[in-house]
Amino acid sequence: MSHWQYPKYVSVAEKRARAEKKIRQLKKKNPHIAPVIIEGGSLAKTWWGKSWNTNLERYADYSNRIERGRSYVRHLAVLDLQINQGTVNALVQGSQSKPYAVKIRIKRLPKTNWGKITIACAGKLDSLQDLLAGRFPKDLSHLFMEEGSGLFPTPKEIQFSCSCPDWAYMCKHVAAVLYGIGARLDQDPSLFFQLRQVNQDDLIDRALKDTTRKYIQKAEQTTHPVVAEADLGSVFGIDMEAMPDFENVVSEAVPEPESVMDSPKKAKPAKRSSKKKPKTKAVDEKMLILELLQRAKDGIDAIGLHAESGIDIVKIRNVLYQAYRKGSIKKVSRGIYKAEATKPTRTTGMERPAAVLAIIEAAPGGIRAPRVAEATDLPLASIRAMIARLMKTGQIRRISRGLYGPPARTRKKKTAGATNVILSMIQSHPDGVGVAALKAQSGYEEKQLRNIVFRLYKSGKIRRAGRGIYIAV
């Protein structure tokens, strides 16, 4: 067998060096590419990333071929990976100088599966943070990982394609991208629900509604419309260290009358005063507790508030419960609270889109929806709806998939130098450039831009390097 039939050996260091060089070249054209970088010995570290990889490896259709992608994703071969609604677009560096384009489509999670899971999560999920961090009971973990009826897709629900010449059912470039999805879920687990096209807030909303309904029914059955203190801690996350001594409170508040003859005369004034004075007193005590919380930068517990204010500890816990529910305070650790820093975007009505618009305008290079949600402290679903409305009104523009920025500078419809501008842009890209990239760089309308490209192509100044890609002659 002649030696030309064997491929040339390329070391790991050389592969990584080539990939890093290609990433630098791609960032010059598109600074928003997101390569998959694996740090450490494991491909995934969180529950969502590990579960994604485990789900792929347990199917016989994938187990024999997906292992081919491990070395590729470790060697920085996945140059770009973008996750959107039901689709994943990636660029993978192979043996050729030009990276291969990989596209993966994942079907929407069936409504029956999603309905069963939301019902099973009722009363078992405390917060969205616990869900994304993988902190939930084992029975939910097994439910999420069930084959065919859980959250994770089956091979029938996954379709993929690659521009490489490999005719295999799953090439190593597709396998590398599949492992890259698991690494990307380590960074942002909410992308999993975006990929399966479901709303992650449904799991928490259903759990809170069922828990609230249970305690309302319990309160209606009792004679006093008061929720037990232990139940408050389990429902709303407020830690109750000690139960109040109601017997001592009652004995101190209602003294025994001196005689039977004096008790009818003194009873009436005592009732009137008890209805008027505690109102103003309760307001003053509440303001004092909130002021002490604002002064405590590192947080303070109920016992500390009782020591500084002298207010009854039961009243302090009631104020903490109401303030925590309204969002004016937050829990630092178990039993310790501090005042919540007010944010300009924690508003309602028409101020929320204005706050989202201000954040996007402040990022000329573009910003993604999860970053906007993190800055505004609003749900990701609400942020996406506001971005869609802002795009319709022309107040923002989409720079690339999932990346939004302020609108480009308006240009005259047909200026004398528009053709020369587009021609110079194409000449500055020796490897070719697409219409979408020209539109983002120039700010021209797509119809006007395509007319200019058509005239340059007819005049012989440019030629096609591929489908939708043009290069200067």
Domains 351-405 and 418-472 equal at CATH topology level = yes
Q: Are 420 and 427 in contact (CB under 8 A)?
A: no
For residue 101, pLDDT over 90 is answered with yes
For residue 215, pLDDT over 60 is answered with no
**In the structure, what pLDDT confidence band is assigned to residue 449 with cuts at 50, 70 and 90?**
confident
Residue 315: per-residue pLDDT? 86
- Residue 226 token pair: 């008061």
For residue 116, pLDDT over 80 is answered with yes
Q: Where are the domains of the chain?
A: 9-107+153-195, 236-247+273-341, 351-405, 418-472
Please identify, in words, the CATH class of the domain defined by 236-247+273-341. mainly alpha
Residue 106: per-residue pLDDT? 93
What's the whole-number mean pLDDT along residues 167-175? 83
d(CA 35, CA 20): 10
Share of the chain above pLDDT 90, in %: 8
For residue 1, pLDDT over 80 is answered with no
> Can you give the pTM of this predicted structure?
0.45
Q: How far is CA 323 from CA 143, 244, 298, 328, 340, in A?
A: 35, 20, 17, 5, 10
* Least confident span in 106-110, 163-167, 281-285: 281-285
Highest mean pLDDT of the ranges 12-16, 174-178, 207-211, 305-309:
174-178
214: enclosing H helix or E strand: helix 201-221
- Residue 287 token pair: 């303001």
Please identify, in words, the CATH class of the domain defined by 418-472. mainly alpha
Q: Are 338 and 296 in contact (CB under 8 A)?
A: yes
- Residue 3 token pair: 């030696």
What's the whole-number mean pLDDT along residues 158-178? 87
Closest CA to 137 of 13, 218, 47: 47
In the numeric block, the tokens 């290069």 are attached to: 471
Per CATH, which fold does 351-405 belong to?
A: Arc Repressor Mutant, subunit A (1.10.10)
Residues 6+ apart with CB under 8 A from 444: 411, 418, 422, 438, 452
Q: What is the pLDDT of residues 223-237, one digit of tens each?
A: 444 455 545 555 455
Residue 434: per-residue pLDDT? 85
For residue 195, pLDDT over 60 is answered with yes
- Residue 463 token pair: 């030629």
The mean pLDDT of the chain is 77
d(CA 473, CA 463): 6
